[in-house]
Amino acid sequence: MENRWILVIDGYEGIRKSAINLFNGYVAGLVPYVLPIKMVSELTQDDIKENNIIFYDTTENDFNLIWKEYFDLERDYGAIIKTVSQNETIAEAIKFADGIRILNQDPWETTLSFVISQNNNIKRISQTIEKLAEKAGKKTLSKWGEYYAFPSVNELEKLSENDYKELGFGYRGRYFIELVKKLKSGYDFSRLKGLKNAELFSELTSITGVG
């Protein structure tokens, strides 16, 4: 839920936390990086056959530090698919949506996006996140257009409950204010890593607006 995607001429554009990229017809953002990846229309049959993803305008260092982990490229999805495909229902789902990967998204933006998603539809969720980014996030420009990064904790701290109401957050505004206070008081999302399922569930549901 963290990345935001916008339809462009031959693909999609989107914003992540600190760069902008384009891959197989999609653009994602991570200000101030720009990472184009070959458009769908430019993929050759060999690319498709070999499952190639062609990255443009990025260094090997940026790829290794930012995008490899984000796209979960070191995980063996083939082995996972082989195991879970023993279930006929899951096997059919895999055929329908082949190539889907789990993104290692920023927990801050993912959590706030989840709060926004409550009793909401996809279109309104996207619009609300964009309004929030334009209100408080940092603007960056690329050859694909103008983008706003998802606001940081410090940037959201400046917003009042009335600001959230004007953005259409309704009752969710107070959840954001409480979550910002929680992080400003020292809460660290990294503590979630390594927790067992029951502990993780308990920790997540203790967050105002999540539980």
More confidently predicted of 142 and 139: 139
Q: How far apart are the first and last CA of the chain?
A: 18
- Which of helix, strand or coil describes residue 116? helix
Q: Give me the amino acid identity at 1.
A: M
The mean predicted confidence, pLDDT, of the chain is: 76
Q: Tokens standing for 8? A: 């462009």
Instruction: State the pLDDT at residue 102.
Output: 81
The mean-pLDDT minimum among 36-40, 60-64, 94-98, 193-197 falls in 36-40
* C-beta neighbour count of 99 within 10 angstroms: 8
Give the whole-angstrom CA distance, residue 20 versus residue 84.
33
Contacts of 1 (CB under 8 A, 6+ apart): 105, 109, 110, 113, 114, 117, 125
22-80: pLDDT as tens digits: 443 334 443 333 344 444 445 455 554 455 566 666 677 877 877 788 888 888 888 99
Looking only at the bridges linking them, the beta strands covering 11-15 and 4-8 are antiparallel
Specify the DSSP element, H or E, that contains 7: strand 4-8
Q: Tokens standing for 189? A: 């999302």
157-169: pLDDT as tens digits: 999 999 999 998 8
Q: What is the mean pLDDT of residues 93-98?
A: 85
* C-beta neighbour count of 47 within 10 angstroms: 15
